[in-house]
Structure formats: C-alpha cells, structure tokens
Amino acid sequence: MNKLYFIYNKDELLIKVEDGKILIPNEDDIKSLSINLSNLDFLTSEDNQDLLFVELHDITNISPPFQFSKLRSLIGQIDEITFNLGAKALHLISWNNTYKYCSKCGSLLKNKEDERAKFCPSCGFINYPKISPAIITAVTKDKKILLAHNANFIEKRYSVLAGFVEPGETFEDCVAREVFEETSIKVKNIKYFGSQPWPFPDSLMVAFICEYDSGEIKVDDVEITDASWYSADELPNIPFKGTIARKLIDHFVDNCK
C-alpha cells in the first residue's frame, strides 16, 4: 500500500488537487517533487497504511497540481478521517516545536522510544503532548437555538457557545459555567454529542446539547458581543460544514423538521 505524507510548512499542509479532489501526496508524488525529507515521523493508521508527517521550511519547487493550504480551510473538503490525521500531525509538530527543554530543570529533552513522549535525561521528567479540552454546546429553547457572535469571528458570523475546561471541572460543569458567563443563561439536561480534534494549536472540542432553564440573555461584551434565539428557518451566517459547531446546528435543524 502506497505511503501517504502529511507535509507541513508552518500551518499549511501540502495537498494534491486532481479532478477537483483534494488528495494527500503519496510516495510517488514525493519522488516526483524531489523533496528531501528528513526527521520523518509516523502516525497510527487503523488499516495499517504507512502514514508519515514532517515539517519543512523554505520550499520553493511546488507547482500545480500540488499546493500548500491551511488545514483549517480544508474542513469539509476532505473526509473526517483524513482531517483528523492531518490534525494529529499538526498538533504533534506544534508540540515538538514548543517543548524542547525540560520545564523543571531546563535540560534539552529527548524523545522516548516506547511511547509518544519526551523525557529529560537530567531529572527524568516526562513530557506528553499537550491537549487542551474545550466544550462547545448547543442550547435550545422552544424549537430555537442560542447563537452568538464572538469578538474573534468574522462580521455577522454566529455560532454555538464554547470555552476551555478549567482545573477540577467536569465537562458538564464547564458547559453550565461558560453559557452563564457569556450569556447569563442557566441550562439543564446536558448531554454528550460528539468531539473533534482542533489543533489550533492543541484543543480537543467536546460537544454537548442542553436545554434552556432560566434567565435572560445578557452578553459579557468581552468574548461575546451579541446573542439571540434563532429558529431553524431564520438562521444567520453560521460555521461551514465539517466543524463540530456546524454539526450541532445541523442536528438542531434536523430535529425541527
């Protein structure tokens, strides 16, 4: 089986566009490009296919049908399995670039041979890839969904609420806290929906659905600048397909039919 290569230049992934399809370069493609690859690392494949990843710099000999594209822009254009593999590669590259020295004694870290981790040869401290869990949740009320405009969104883009989990907090606690902090709404019946790797740079989005309990919308005017209830037939500009946010909104719409 032909090897696939996830090759990054900073946060951009090398892809091949062929007959309108976006493909990950294989071994033959790499040979045709005459790219000198070193420090290749392996990803885990469920079907035993060889998957490799690496970060390269100063690449100048790339031309159609090959191009570099930001992984985030490929969501919805490549299948979920391929996106998750690309996310894993980008996440590990970021971790490798960030954690080079021991946070306890400052010594240069080395890679462990028996697991995905780094160890300090001086003090023995082991460093694992950092994963920052975050919740994202759809709040519903009387066949309407709570959507908000985040200060970091493009103009007029609305989505469901999200936020990072704090120490000592369950995912459900985080859902209730984030919704209340950002909109002053209290929620109930919090249920798990799904998850999505989000390597920008190291998040894992854990999605929930919940129901309105009490309160009136009052945004924090820091993260959230506007929020309102929307019915399935009057949705504003929402996230594109492939994101867990869009899956939550589509789930709401399907349940309203």
Domain boundaries, the chain: 4-97, 99-129, 132-256
CATH superfamily of this structure's domain 132-256 = Nucleoside Triphosphate Pyrophosphohydrolase (3.90.79.10)
What pLDDT digit, counting tens, does each position of 96-110 carry? 999 999 999 999 999
Statement: residue 178 has pLDDT above 90: yes
* Distance separating alpha carbons of residues 94 and 112, to the nearest angstrom: 17
Average pLDDT of span 23-38: 87
Average pLDDT of span 165-186: 98
Residue 68 is predicted with a pLDDT of 95
Residue 59 is predicted with a pLDDT of 77
* Side-chain-facing half-sphere of 91: CA atoms under 13 Å: 20
Sign of CA dihedral 79, 84, 89, 94: positive
Average pLDDT of span 163-179: 98
Which two tokens mark 169?
Answer: 């907090």
Average pLDDT of span 27-38: 84
Higher per-residue confidence, 203 vs 33: 203
Average pLDDT of span 141-169: 97
Residue 90 is predicted with a pLDDT of 96
For the chain, what is the mean pLDDT?
Answer: 94
Statement: residue 47 has pLDDT above 80: no
* Distance separating alpha carbons of residues 65 and 19, to the nearest angstrom: 10
Higher per-residue confidence, 42 vs 139: 139
Residue 43 is predicted with a pLDDT of 85
